[in-house]
Amino acid sequence: MPDVHSLVNEFVIKLKKRKIEGSKATAKLTVELLRSFISQQRLPHSNQAAALIDAVKAVGEKLIAANPVELAVGNVVRRVLHIIREEDLSLATAAVGGLSLAAESDDEDDIDRDDHPVLSATAVAAAARNALRPPSLQTLLEDIPHSAAAPHTSSSGGDSEGKSKSADKNSVTRKLKHNVIEAVNELIQEISTCHEQIAEQAVEHIHQNEVILTLGSSRTVMEFLCAAKEKKRSFRVFVAEGAPRYQGHALAKELAARGLQTTVITDSAVFAMISRVNMVIVRAHAVMANGGVIAPVGLNMVALAAQRHAVPFVVLAGVHKLCPLYPHNPEVLLNELKSPSELLDFGEFSDCLDFGSGTGSPLLHVVNPVFDYVPPNLVSLFITDTGGHNPSYVYRLIADYYSADDLVVRRKSAS
């Protein structure tokens, strides 16, 4: 136990000091931390799920508070909470089903068959869940009753089903934790392979002789472009350097090394170049529930320019960047200001910075925000590891990945 707490504290400190960068790294670390937290958590015999949820929420709250701007932390916490709920539900379903089924058959593999008799019991739970989320596209297409389909939509659905079958035999107590950890492992897997899955879709979007513009640096974007390159597509890439950190340089170097024809442009030249560009492909920091994007600084400008020239603005985002919150004044509230030293040389401007000392307010302010908010109407397409989605479809994804009870992690656990 102390072990986990020290881990949590260490992570919190890292988050506070902004030692962890990039939503993917953060998401991965968070979910790993939560896994070890869950595995070390002792659960009471009754009402395990609620206890586990409370414990995870408490940790989650701490983590979120450590860096409220890094939305990936909150997303992952919510995902884990959702997983716990799902597992709990499927266990309950299996338990009920197991009881009624016991006399009928011992056939453990036949999932479909044991669903139908249970309908009376499961239907209640399923109905409750369906109220929370409307039927997804998959459920519409597959000819399965909602009651059966609902548990499947969770990412852990397939696996947990098999496990839940054995639930009647083993002790339910250990089962829940085990199942949850299994599912969390899957989540980790999903996060770490998300850009491969995104990159797989590259060929569908990049054709021959295309001119693509991107800003700053991102592994996802790089792999996406390289995937298209590997498929023998030849196209050109313009990389805006992405002030003030100029990560675009690194991206350009990497792309050039992979044999892509790459041109670096200054951020100010984006507007000039965009008229010659076929597509803008960028990464996101977080995707909000309304389809808006919290993106690296400068992308709002790029998106506006793209809109003006009717150039598709494509955002690559792993599912862990999907945030169930709605943005309110995101430019300010979901932003972060970095050190002015990235913009100005302190040595050079030290006297200027001191000018205001007499009046109490300095004459010189330096603004160095990290993120931009790109409203949904500027985004043409999201490419996630589950496929391409329109900004207006984001709410559906969110309903698939999060449970409505968890949307406000902080306030609930605080009260």
Backbone angles phi, psi at 231, to 5 degrees: -85, 20
User: Is position 364 an interface residue for other proteins (rule: CB under 8 A)?
Assistant: yes
Read off the tokens for 415: 């009260």
Note whether 298 binds other proteins by CB under 8 A. Answer: yes
Structural contact between residues 364 and 298, judged by C-beta atoms closer than 8 angstroms: no
Does position 51 bind other proteins by CB under 8 A? no
**Shortest distance, CB of residue 177 to other proteins, whole angstroms?**
45
Rounded least distance, CB 333 to other proteins, Å: 12
Binding mask 371-390 for other proteins (x = CB under 8 A): -x------------------
Q: Is 326 in the site for other proteins (CB under 8 A)?
A: no
**Which of 41, 278, 290, 335 is the binder for other proteins (CB under 8 A)?**
335
Distance of CA 96 to the CA centre of its chain: 34
292 binds other proteins (CB under 8 A): no
CB of residue 324 to other proteins, shortest distance in Å:
24
Per-residue x/- track, 242-281, other proteins (CB under 8 A) = xxx-x--x--xx-xxx-x-xxxxxxxxxxxxx-xx-----
Of the pair 198, 303, the CB lying nearest other proteins is at 303
Smallest gap from residue 132 Cβ to other proteins (A): 35
| Residue ranges in 102-144 assigned as alpha helix (H) | 111-132, 137-141
Q: Which of the stretches 41-49, 181-189, 281-289, 346-354 binds other proteins when contact is defined by CB under 8 A? A: 346-354
Q: Which residues of 33-48 are buried (b: 16+ CB within 10 A; e: fewer)?
A: bbbebbeebebeeeeb
- Whose Cβ is closer to other proteins: residue 184's or residue 302's? 302
Q: Which is nearer to other proteins, 303 or 394 (CB)?
A: 303
Structure tokens, 128 = 């409750």
- Near other proteins by CB under 8 A: residue from 55, 123, 125, 349: 349
Q: Which of 107, 355, 377, 392 binds other proteins (CB under 8 A)?
A: 355
Q: Are 179 and 155 in contact (CB under 8 A)?
A: no
**Three-class SS state of 213:** strand
Tokens encoding 130: 């369906």
Q: Shortest approach of other proteins to residue 284 CB, angstroms?
A: 16
Rounded to the nearest 5°, which phi and psi values hold at 154? -70, 155
Choose the stretch contacting other proteins; rule: CB under 8 A; options: 35-43, 48-56, 82-90, 294-302: 294-302
DSSP H stretches of helix in 133-246: 137-141, 146-152, 157-165, 172-192, 194-200, 202-205, 219-230
- Of 45-53, 104-112, 201-209, 302-310, which segment contacts other proteins by CB under 8 A? 302-310
User: Residue 27 or residue 305: which is nearer to other proteins going by CB?
Assistant: 305
Judged by CB under 8 A, the number of residues near other proteins is 56
Closest approach of Cβ 394 to other proteins, in Å? 21
- Which residue in 399, 326, 397 sits closest to 130, CA to CA? 399
What is the DSSP code (8-state) at residue 60? H
Given phi > 0 = left and psi -120 to 50 = alpha, else beta, which region is 355? alpha
Q: What number of other Cβ atoms are within 10 A of residue 220's Cβ?
A: 25
- Residue 180 or 280: the one with the smaller Cβ distance to other proteins is 280
Buried b (16+ CB within 10 A) or exposed e, 3-29: ebeebbeebbeebeeeebeebbebbbb
Whose tokens are 């590259």? That residue is 202
Note the residues at the interface with other proteins (CB under 8 A).
239, 241-244, 246, 249, 252-253, 255-257, 259, 261-273, 275-276, 297-298, 300-301, 304-305, 308, 331-332, 335, 340, 343-345, 348-349, 352, 355-356, 361, 363-369, 372
